[in-house]
Amino acid sequence: MSKVERPIKIIKTFAKDFNDKTYGFTEKEPIRPVTKELLSRLKNEVRYVSEHFRDSFRKWPGVPAVAKVTLHDKALAKSHRPTSLLGDKTCPVIGSCNFGELLVSVTEEGLSRLESKIQNSTKTKNGTLHIAVIDKIEPFICDRIAEEGAKTYILRLFDHRNRKKNKSLEESLRLMMAELNIPEPNKYMIGSDIFYFEVPENKNLFELSSFIGVRKLQPMPSFKLDNSEVTISKTAAEKKVLLPIPDVDTHYPLVGIIDSGIDPNNRDISPWVWGRRSFLNGRKADYTHGNMVASLIIDSKGLNSNYEGFPDTHAEVVDIAAFPADTELSLPELANIITTAVEDFPEVKIWNLSLGQKEACHSDNFSELGHLLSCLHDEHGCLFVVASGNYESLPQRTWPPQELSDCDRISAPGDSVRALTVGSVAHVDCADSIVKANQPSSFSRRGPGPSCIPKPEVTHFGGNCRANLDFSDLGIFAIGDNGHLSESVGTSLSTPLISSIAASTWHELQLNSNISPSPERVKALIIHSAMLERTDQIDPKEINYHGFGIPKDNISDMLSCKKNEITFLFEVDTLEGEEFGRYPFVIPNSLKNDEGKFTGEILMTLVYSPPLDPNYPSEYCRSNVDVSFGTYDFDKTKKRKHISKVPQIKDKSELYEKYLIENGFKWSPIKVYRKKYPQGTQGNTWRLKIDVQRRAEQDKLEFPQRAVLLITLRSLSADKDIYSEAVSELDLLGWESDDIIVSNEERIQIR
């Protein structure tokens, strides 16, 4: 790694930075009038739910059913939860569907008590507040399977948060299956919190959807590699050696590849293969896809004629041969392979997954495989770098994009909250290419992920094509079948570029940094680097296509600052009820104009790993870390008041929960904010504030929620020496800090 002249500054935090949070609660008023008509309608709806499930309650005594409670669209925030009505004594909340749709566990007794509570709700202020937020109560009905004829199906039961009830539910399901002559299903766990059944096709299968405990019954998900055509380059015969030979004395970064396998006889790639494991079990192999992914991780820049922007990185690889030729893998098959690979190779901390489902993911539900990746991330401390997927239908998406009815949304497991999901942009264009250079590739699946999670987080070069999908002279070059230099396109090819960057970042932190690597730190550095590379303001609508941009192609540059900027890295552990506050914050004088106003740019990237609960798809992330950078000056009452400058909320009408989720990254585990002040903004004392809150029904956080924050202060003039000024002011303020890189000589590392 080349010398880092102006390294990112790691800022140490102390107990004095934390204080009890002050809540500005005011007395609430009902969000709408509670009329006799509303009470009567809700009581009738409760009676209908009871009547709907009456036969089921008699057939399966002791087994609860599930009802759906829809909340008023202005009552989605945690503070509006109707806890006085929906609880253990009536119908407890056990999950959610879409935004504002709660799932409650219901029994005949509980429904009767709920009806009574509704009748008497207006006798108390709390009851009146809570009855006002409920729009509708109805039975939950499992969606009928849209696609029939699959060989196997996935079936998931509700989790009623009660061991006895869950046991009765599963026993009743097995009895019903026996009555219908459906063979005993296979049962699989995902992490420690959810399980699913693999049910074989059967003529009576669809009758299971009427069972009161079934939450999901759909064809078993299957996954494939990108099957884009591959063209052998015209110059392939001229290039005898396609990859450099690894230096025996160099300790390289390491990436695991779960793919088609790498040709063991390929003389270019084999010296870079650190380990292998095959799951093909004698089935026919086609190494083309695996070869291309591996060679791009090893040396994408060299394979693409040193084209500007390709990563200047090299890495060794672990080859996991998972996909036989022209074969898809079912969820249980692929989940087993990924889990085994991660357990067998604990040295690998970056895993490349250039694979996915053919279909778009659901907007209101996270995939089982995506959840598995998050579980493995937490258990093994590794980062999955996943392709956003390829939209293969015609006509292809243009730029600006036409309406495609969400068919071009990302595919699973690109919806994994913990994964780093990668889209594709074109690096070249021609007169008849669909998009121009640096625009999102026409085939690159877009975000957002379920529950408005920002996906993909980053993009890289994955090629371009014409309207007929011809990509000659517009694609990415890599080593294909039989060792030839080949050309192709797809997010399968942009993903290994980010994997190589992620592994190199992890490697650099491991060998030369004052902080050890972690998935959250590496993700934050990559995303922040991508944002710093953008010169324009982020268009919220374009994040779904571009992510936050393309990270820097050199790791030294990623971990350092330009002369006209300073980047601080904070890592903060926060408990609910307290807030982190650092003030006065470093503001170099060169970022102030003659009137003392801040004139410059503020960029922030926040990454954290919240608790997850797949029973709450619309509330999957169970904690929310908020960050705010702003002024902390005295108001008219001589008290300090924090006024947020980044992010900024325009007016009170934008404070509704749904708006904040869709437009303000609320509950998102990645938050990115950027604001320029060319005319200046007033403020004497500046402050950084971080706090955390948990969801309704979420147990108190057992441990503090850790968050990684990168914040950059940048001058709008390239010639100002902001970095030196900021470092001097750090010392004046007594901040304790470290350089992110402390040595340019690699420590001895043995894998």
Active site residues: 259, 289, 492
d(CA 118, CA 131): 7
Q: Which residues of 334-353 are buried (b: 16+ CB within 10 A; e: fewer)?
A: bbebbbebbeebeebbbbbb
610: region left, alpha or beta (phi > 0 left; psi from -120 to 50 alpha)? beta
The closest alpha carbon to 313, from 628, 73, 558, 86, belongs to 558
- Strand residue runs (E) in 148-272: 152-157, 186-190, 194-200, 214-219, 222-225, 231-232, 254-259
The closest alpha carbon to 420, from 460, 476, 475, 380, belongs to 460
Look at residue 494 and give its three-state secondary structure. Answer: helix
Whether residue 586 contacts residue 566, with contact meaning beta carbons closer than 8 Å, is answered with yes
Whether residue 189 contacts residue 375, with contact meaning beta carbons closer than 8 Å, is answered with no
The closest alpha carbon to 131, from 49, 41, 53, 215, belongs to 41
Whether residue 411 contacts residue 358, with contact meaning beta carbons closer than 8 Å, is answered with yes
Q: Torsion angle, CA of 690/573/413/334, rounded to 10 degrees?
A: 180
Whether residue 624 contacts residue 612, with contact meaning beta carbons closer than 8 Å, is answered with no
Whether residue 481 contacts residue 230, with contact meaning beta carbons closer than 8 Å, is answered with yes
d(CA 743, CA 281): 46
Q: Label the pairing between strands 18-20 and 578-582.
A: antiparallel
* Token digits of residue 424: 């594709």
* Token digits of residue 603: 């960029």
* Token digits of residue 471: 């990509």
- Say which residues have a Cβ less than 8 Å from residue 128's Cβ, sequence separation at least 6: 30, 34, 121, 122
DSSP character at residue 107: -
Task: Enumerate long-range contacts of 14-17, CB under 8 Å, 24 or more apart.
Answer: 17/580, 17/581, 17/582
- Say which residues have a Cβ less than 8 Å from residue 212's Cβ, sequence separation at least 6: 53, 56, 60, 63, 64, 65, 66
In DSSP terms, 486 is beta-bridged to 232, 478
Look at residue 10 and give its three-state secondary structure. Answer: strand
d(CA 529, CA 712): 10
Q: How far is CA 318 from the centre of its chain?
A: 24
d(CA 426, CA 433): 10
d(CA 52, CA 108): 11
3-state secondary structure 637-704: CCCEEEEEEECCCCCHHHHCHHHHHHHCCCCCCEEEEEEECCCCECCCCEEEEEEEEECCCCCCCCCC
Starting from the edge strand earliest in sequence, which strands make up the sheet with 355-356, in order? 329-330, 222-225, 355-356
Whether residue 22 contacts residue 84, with contact meaning beta carbons closer than 8 Å, is answered with no
Sign of torsion, CA 70 73 78 82?
negative
Q: Helices (H), strands (E): how many in the chain?
A: 14, 32
Q: Torsion angle, CA of 240/243/247/253, rounded to 10 degrees?
A: -170
* Token digits of residue 131: 């009855």
